[in-house]
């Protein structure tokens, strides 16, 4: 897989650091091999709103294919109100 991208709907949160995994990752208690997961960071949003992230990656197969996955999240509180150890979370799909 060579290219990765992600979008969020509705607009509001910012997505950056979109990349195809460079190490084995554990996603939902399943180990995903290097190159088989899309990683990204999401920041912002409005409390109480549920957002959908759509991520895609192009394969290096012949002919090339585009793999698409979706995940949802709901902003539950303004992050500035949370203690530092409450801010970190992992959310992914493969």
pLDDT tens digits, residue range 26-77? Answer: 877 889 888 888 888 888 888 889 999 999 988 777 888 888 889 898 888 7
Q: What is the pTM of this model?
A: 0.70
DSSP E strands, the chain = 4-9, 14-20, 25-27, 30-32, 38-43, 50-58, 66-74
């Amino acid at each position: 897989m060579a290219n990765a991208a992600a979008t969020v709907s509705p607009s509001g949160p910012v997505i950056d650091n979109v990349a195809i995994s460079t190490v084995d990752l554990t996603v939902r208690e399943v180990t995903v091999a290097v190159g088989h997961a899309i990683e990204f960071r999401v920041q912002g949003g409005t409390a109480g709103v549920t957002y959908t992230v759509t991520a895609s990656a192009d394969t290096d197969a012949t002919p090339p294919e585009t793999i698409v996955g979706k995940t949802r999240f709901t902003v539950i509180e303004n992050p500035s109100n949370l203690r530092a150890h409450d801010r970190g979370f992992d959310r992914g799909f493969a």
